[in-house]
Amino acid sequence: MIKILPADPKAAYLAAQADIDAAIKRVMLSGHYVLGPELDAFEKEFSAWLGTAGAVGVANGTDAIELALLAAGIGPGDKVVTVANTVTATVSAIVATGAKPVFVDIEPGTMLMDVTALETMLATLRDPKIKAVVPVHLYGQAVDMPRLMEITGRHNLFVMEDCAQAHGSLVGGKMAGTWGSLASFSFYPTKNIGAFGDAGAVTGRDTALLEKVRLLRQYGWRKRYVSDHHGRNSRLDELQAAILRVQLARIEAGNRRRDEIARHYLTALKDTPLKLPALAEGRTHTWHQFVVRTTRRDELQTHLARKDIVCGVLYPMPIHRQPAYHDASLSLPHTEQACAEVLSLPLHPGLKDEDVARVVREISALLTAANGRTVPGS
Ligand SMILES: *Cc1c(COP(=O)(O)O)cnc(C)c1O
């Protein structure tokens, strides 16, 4: 039986092989490999697709977060509010600027930043060190951005959206990545737009800040060999940029296929005891992950793995419980419970209908014995 993977970058390559091979060959024969015409074109195409002022390609999604915060002047002594059910990258980037992360709990349904809790926290703490908020559009669904922008606007905070899992996600018809002053994207191979290596971008409506990011990604050079700012090397190379142009042209079709599979899961699993993804009104979910919840998460994951169905857990341990960022005094009940219960079912555009049916069948076999008994996991 073939193995069903949670994500499948190789399938993404095979689906676009002729175009990707042609793009690679074009770059190889151009003689131009770093910061060239392919990246220029990708930045223009990507920002046009989002409907925002511009995009700056960088080396990866983590750098995108860090450089965006640095461009906005975030640094030592500042605090940045985010959530603890995210990949370490979000927090690692905040800490790398010298700022301190502050965690707010999530909504139990969508598992996204609870903006009401954010509002209460800001009003209670009244901490002038809090300078920025990093909402994470987790799993493919965006945070309630109209309310978040209203709240952060009242407190005069900088907003940097983490869009690594939200390529094409809409809130009220407006793309994730176009709400905050800046936004970060990752093109890690498993993301909805994936490179075949590392890549990322900063987008946004603040053109002055974008220009600053553009300098920071290459040593702060405005003029070659003369640094206006302290920067670094965080360049996105021409091979990845050329490949990303191919992937960008395929994103709408890919997201449509993801939606088809998600709809199938939602219908086919509705009579199981699994808690299915909560869809917020007025937002489109782009299904980077299809995340179900159950207190029998580990048992279900093991059962499926035995059947060659590989599921991910995003994320098994909240950031404030990880050794590097441990904070024993902090309690985030909804975050902690989510991390204990979440399981990502396989979902990527390369999945066939029969693969999806097999996943559903194996879940049902474990969780819904007809006579009310549960089938032993072993
Ligand atoms: C993938 C991801 C990142 C980091 O992106 P890299 O390109 O791997 O550095 C940041 N935030 C979230 C939410 C992600 O999923």
pLDDT 10s digits, 193-213: 999 999 999 999 999 999 999
What average pLDDT does range 28-53 have in this prediction? Answer: 98
What average pLDDT does range 177-206 have in this prediction? Answer: 97
Q: Report whether residue 178 contacts ligand 1, using a CB cutoff of 6 Å.
A: no
Q: Are strands 170-171 and 100-103 parallel, antiparallel or unpaired?
A: unpaired
Answer whether residue 214 shows pLDDT above 70: yes
Record the tokens describing residue 179, joined without a space: 């709400």
What average pLDDT does range 82-108 have in this prediction? Answer: 98
CB 311 within 8 A of CB 346: yes
CB 338 within 8 A of CB 108: yes
Record the tokens describing residue 258, joined without a space: 């993801």
Residue 1's pLDDT is: 81
pTM of the model: 0.96
Residue 369's pLDDT is: 65
What average pLDDT does range 12-28 have in this prediction? Answer: 98
pLDDT 10s digits, 309-352: 999 999 999 999 999 999 999 999 999 999 999 999 999 999 99
Q: Which helix (H) or strand (E) holds 203?
A: strand 200-204
The CA angle 351-352-354, to the nearest 5 degrees, is: 125
The CA angle 358-361-372, to the nearest 5 degrees, is: 170
Answer whether residue 176 shows pLDDT above 60: yes
- Model confidence at 371, pLDDT cuts 50, 70, 90, reads very low
Residue whose C-alpha is closest to residue 294's, from 350, 220, 368 = 368
What average pLDDT does range 239-250 have in this prediction? Answer: 98
In sequence order, the 6+-apart residues with CB closer than 8 A to the CB of 117 are: 104, 105
What is the number of H-type helices and E-type strands within the chain?
A: 13, 13
**Could you give the CA distance from residue 71 to residue 5 in angstroms, rounded to a whole number?**
38
What average pLDDT does range 130-146 have in this prediction? Answer: 98
CB 27 within 8 A of CB 42: no
Shortest-distance Cα residue to atom 7 of ligand 1: 61
Most distant CA pair in the chain, distance = 74
> Which sign does the torsion angle of CA 38, 44, 50, 55 carry?
positive
- Among 69, 90, 95, 139, the mutation site with the greatest number of ligand 1 atoms within 8 A of its Cβ is 90
- Among 58, 60, 62, the mutation site with the greatest number of ligand 1 atoms within 8 A of its Cβ is 62
pLDDT 10s digits, 47-59: 999 999 999 999 9
Record the tokens describing residue 21, joined without a space: 């091979």
**Could you give the CA distance from residue 201 to residue 49 in angstroms, rounded to a whole number?**
14
CB 242 within 8 A of CB 26: yes
Residue 317's pLDDT is: 98
Residue whose C-alpha is closest to residue 294's, from 272, 321, 279 = 272
Residue 368's pLDDT is: 83
Answer whether residue 164 shows pLDDT above 70: yes
Q: Token pair 């979902």 is at which residue?
A: 347
**Could you give the CA distance from residue 123 to residue 118 in angstroms, rounded to a whole number?**
9
CB 168 within 8 A of CB 139: no
Q: Report whether residue 246 contacts ligand 1, using a CB cutoff of 6 Å.
A: no
Cα end-to-end distance, the chain, whole Å:
19
Domains of the chain: 9-249 (3.40.640.10), 252-367 (3.90.1150.10)
Answer whether residue 87 shows pLDDT above 50: yes
Shortest-distance Cα residue to atom 14 of ligand 1: 164
Backbone phi and psi for residue 158, each to the nearest 5 degrees, phi listed first:
-80, 135
Paired strand residues for 54: 204
Tally Cβ neighbours within 10 Å of residue 233.
11
What's the half-sphere exposure (Cβ side, CA atoms, 13 Å) at 212? 19
Answer whether residue 70 shows pLDDT above 90: yes
What average pLDDT does range 80-88 have in this prediction? Answer: 98
Distance (Å) from CA 62 to ligand 1 centroid:
6
Q: Which helix (H) or strand (E) holds 186?
A: strand 182-186
